[in-house]
Chains A and B, each alone.
Chain A
Amino acid sequence: MKSKLLFLSIVICLLICIQSCAKKNGTAEKKRLTIAVIPKGTIHEFWKSVNAGAAKAASELDVDIIWKGPLKEDDRESQITVVENLVNRGVSGIVLAPLDDTALRIPVANARWAGIPVVIFDSGLKGEDFISYVATDNFEGGRIAGKYMADILGGKGKVIVLRYTEGSDSTTQRENGFLATIADFNGIEVVSSNQYAGVTTESAITAAENLLSRFRTAEGDIKVDGIFCATEPTTLGIIKAMEGLDMLGKVKLVGFDSSNKMVDALQKGNLSGFVVQNPMEIGYLGVKTMVSHLRGQKVEHRIDTGATLITTANINEEKIQQLLKPDLEKWLK
């Protein structure tokens, strides 16, 4: 028994020796930057695009990235653990999409305290412990939608905004951007902007049916000209409700975010247009901003990754196709 214990302790000592030797060899090539990129989850299509963008930036800028999402999808505790572990590993910098604008503040502050800079991307974080915030300017995205709505209505008419859900910051920004732009057009009247669709397509169908039937007289006259909503499930829900109320094609609908169903609806003429974010650009600029900072360049505190309007006029352009169906395989081997 003693011999076994002795054997084990020898093994452990040997391992530690090997390690200290390995460390000495390792120091010479320590120049290469290693950036940890921490998404909210790794399964969703959106994050695959972000991953591709980050990988693209890494190969262009000649740095290494560690793509490491929380062990459990959308679990705050898991994400905090990942941040802590990568801080201890001593990465050059962390690019983080916080699952929570509050819960991730402390680990980010601790990273800064340990001398590791953090770039926040995709979703916001409270406090000032990060060097830059790289994300879609949702207010601007809403403005784009508002301008387009005013265009297709010819500057006059009645519009509805069916809101997404209470307390969701990014979508509220989109709705407010839309309303702010529409307010500039005297001919356009906002007849409803205080109804919420809820987070699922099902809840959106019910909400849209209740709301839209108010604007349809018994004779079948439709008293509304345009509808805007800020997410994909809400858009799909409204289309379903419009179908039942025979409003399809008669009322202009502008949506936000993309999916195959939305593209389909656009081509059928059920949807006038939608605004999309650029997830690949979010990943790309997140890493690029971090590398610029680490290489001593000054970076903006807020970086917009852009929002694009998609209509039947431009959907077949190569640039738009790449946005809708990015070539992920090329970057994610």
Chain B
Amino acid sequence: MKMIDDNKFSLMSVLNKFGPFLGLLLIYGLLVAFGPDNFGSAANLETIARQTSIVGIAALGMTLVIILGGIDLSVGSIVALGTVIAASVLQYLVSKTEASSMFDMLSLRADAWMAIVAVVAVLVASAICGVINGLIITKLKVVPFIVTLGTLLLIRGTAKGLANQQKVDAPFSWLNQLLAPPSYEQRWILFAPGVWIMIILALLVICILKYTRFGRHIYAIGSNEQAARLCGIAVEKVKLMVYITAAWLAGIAGILQFSRLSVGDPTVASGMELDVIAAVVIGGGSLSGGEGSVTGTIVGALIMTVIRSGCSQIGLPNWIQEIVTGIIIVMAVTIDRMRHSNTK
């Protein structure tokens, strides 16, 4: 008896750990086998990684929020605000240094320091968004869903206003290299810098969750907020920090989005919060809090990119692609629930 129990337990724990990953392998394997010829190529793998990085980085922050038992719907808007601020700052700095007023933005190159200023501006702005989210949630005790639904519109509106309801052209800078496919001379870096940024940030978040008190507190609050409070955890402070971190990571995603678009676009990433939440949930995060893993989230984001990429390359119409993605999300969560009822 005992042996069987043990066996069952380890099978479940393996599935818990690697379930999403096996799913990813299966979908990828199917597409390599039956999909278009080049699906398994290294170039395609590199593209998939690049296309995942923006949602992936934003999803790292969302993982923290969801483990905490909250939700943040404003990430897509923060990404859009990020692109607009990065573009506006670059445009402003270049026009300050250029003597003539009439010039073509696109033929110019911004200096490295200008791009750094733009990055700092985006990080400051996104941190402010996080503070707003966090303060309303903790001080005014409004549920996160409603607060961030409000700031979703608030931040999107700000982005459109800042951009004068148009896209913002920006000069080229090293920022545009972040998500460019590596050139032949640079192929030793394997992935674009933006992908490495995602990997490094993911490792950082893993370490925070595993080895810091802050990380433990996030899990504790998500599992049982009352108990955590009684144990003396500064619940409000932890919540505020988590929302700031999430917004900050969304800001970094915004910088990468700007790198990819090369213009500031206030309408970009609308609905991205849903992709981000789906990535966390496919990866094993539980919307009731206390559960979620960083590797699972990244795998969840990869699953969605692989499906998108596969459907595009096969040439399936968009409506089929949306239905397929929907089915996979529902399936992933259903399997997740079944897994839970088994272990209990």
Contact = CB atoms under 8 A, between A and B. Distances in A.
B33 A16 contact: yes
Interface stretch (A67-75, A239-247, A281-289): A67-75
A77 B33 contact: no
Contacts of A90: 36-38
Given A18-B33, A23-B37, A106-B262, A84 B47 contact: yes
B287 to A, nearest CB: 24
Contacts of A222: none
Interface residues of B, number: 50
Interface SS of B by simple majority: helix
Given A16-B32, A71-B322, A85-B312, A8 B47 contact: no
B47 A85 contact: yes
B43 A88 contact: yes
Interface in B286-344: 308-309, 312-313, 315, 317-318, 321-322
B186 interface: no
Given A1-B7, A81-B308, A106-B180, A76 B265 contact: yes
Contacts of A171: none
Interface stretch (B23-31, B142-150, B202-210, B237-245): B23-31
B319 to A, nearest CB: 9
Interface residues of A, number: 42
Contact of A8 (B22, B33, B269): B22
A126 B26 contact: no
A80 B260 contact: yes
Given A12-B29, A86-B312, A102 B106 contact: yes
Contact of B267 (A75, A82, A102): A75
Contact of B263 (A26, A68, A100): A100
A26 B262 CA distance: 38
A89 B38 contact: yes
A75 B261 CA distance: 11
B10 interface: yes
A126 B269 CA distance: 24
B193 interface: no
A106 B41 CA distance: 21
A106 B14 CA distance: 42
B160 interface: no
Interface string B176-187: 100011000000
Q: Which among B37, B166, B265, B313 has the greatest number of chain A C-beta atoms within 10 A?
A: B313
A271 to B, nearest CB: 30
B72 interface: no
B14 to A, nearest CB: 6
A105 interface: yes
Contacts of A76: 167, 261, 263, 265, 268
B224 interface: no
Interface centre among B10, B14, B167, B312 (most CB of A within 10 A): B312
B264 to A, nearest CB: 10
Given A12-B29, A86-B313, A103 B265 contact: yes
A110 B315 CA distance: 20
Interface in A1-26: 1, 4-5, 8, 11-12, 15-16, 18-19, 22-23, 26
A66 interface: yes
Nearest to A102: B263
A67 to B, nearest CB: 8
B25 A72 contact: no
Contacts of B10: 1
A248 B318 CA distance: 45
B11 interface: yes
A277 interface: no
A296 interface: no
Contact of A26 (B11, B30, B37): B37
A77 B321 contact: no
B270 A126 contact: no
A167 B269 contact: no
A49 interface: no
A328 B261 CA distance: 34
A176 interface: no
A19 B33 contact: yes
A42 interface: yes
B44 interface: yes
B176 A19 contact: no
A84 B260 CA distance: 12
A80 B309 CA distance: 12
B257 A77 contact: yes
Nearest to A34: B315
28 contacts: A12-B26, A15-B33, A16-B33, A18-B34, A42-B318, A66-B315, A68-B312, A76-B167, A76-B263, A76-B268, A77-B265, A77-B269, A80-B260, A81-B51, A81-B309, A84-B50, A85-B313, A88-B39, A88-B44, A89-B39, A89-B312, A90-B38, A100-B265, A102-B106, A102-B167, A102-B169, A106-B176, A106-B180
Interface of B: 7, 10-11, 14, 22, 25-26, 29-30, 32-34, 36-41, 43-44, 47, 50-51, 106, 166-167, 169, 176, 180-181, 257, 260-263, 265, 267-271, 308-309, 312-313, 315, 317-318, 321-322
Interface of A: 1, 4-5, 8, 11-12, 15-16, 18-19, 22-23, 26, 42, 66-69, 71-72, 74-77, 80-82, 84-86, 88-90, 100, 102-103, 105-106, 110, 114, 126, 167
